[in-house]
Amino acid sequence: MSRARIYGNQSQLDLAIADYTRVIDLDPNNIDAYFWRGSIYSNQNRLDLAIADYTKIIDLDPTHVMAYITRSFIYNSQGQPDLAIADYTAAIDVNPTDYAYWGRAQLYREQGQLDLAIADYTQAIALYPMYESAYFERGLLYREQRQHDLAIANFSKVIELNSTDAYAYNARGFSYYDQGQYEQSLADQNKAIELNPTFADAYYGRGLVYREQGQTELACADLATVIELDPNFDPSYYGRG
């Protein structure tokens, strides 16, 4: 095993695989050998072989959380989200960690199952109340569902945890904009720009506020800045004049 790891660290992956295979031939129940060989197969994009190794680990030890989670990554990359979600669910059944709930929430979100995603982000936050990313992602989903007060509360929590997060100010600014709270929206977009002067989304958000306030020249200037920063930023062309 030690020589196999040295080969792996030196990027001599075929030699590492050969050594792990020899270990498995001598000890067919060696979980570590299957795991590391599976990791190399995955890095080589030999995904069916990687899945076979992680599946063998689960056969030997149905409580091996990392085997479920790593196999889930592969299933998702292969366009098999149901199998990926099933693996995260199995991992949660074994050990309900904030990381596992986060991972399954991301998969639910990709599938458009927003209520299930929100529920999992909520579980992740319950396990780790300082989970900035979970608050942020849950806020985005609440905004998508037009639950703006809940969205604002989540973005505000991110800001409470990290007052330099330009993305949280920008997102909260859009939620304020959605509710017609233009002064609050303007303040948040200004703060986002202060924190990140090349943040195209924040200039776009501020431009929208200026337009609603009838400050046409300021709106056009901000939307022109968006185009300068990101010529492919399509929404900025809407209503530019």
- Residue 228: give its domain's CATH number: 1.25.40.10
Here the tokens at position 43 are: 């890095």
In a domain, 26, yes or no: no
Domain extent, residue 201, equals: 164-241
In a domain, 234, yes or no: yes
Identify the pLDDT of residue 11.
Answer: 63
Using the predicted structure, report yes or no on whether residue 92 has a pLDDT greater than 90. yes
Number of domains in the chain: 1
In a domain, 187, yes or no: yes
* Segment 113-152, tens digit of pLDDT: 999 999 999 999 999 999 999 999 999 999 999 999 999 9
In a domain, 127, yes or no: no
In a domain, 142, yes or no: no
In a domain, 138, yes or no: no
User: What's the rounded Cα separation, in Å, for the pair 119 and 30?
Assistant: 37
- Read off the pLDDT band of 15 (50, 70, 90): confident
In a domain, 173, yes or no: yes
CB atoms within 10 A of CB 9: 9
Which single residue is written with the structure tokens 């959605």? Answer: 178
State pTM to two decimals: 0.87
In a domain, 134, yes or no: no
Q: What is the dihedral of CA 10, 11, 15, 18, to 10 degrees?
A: 120
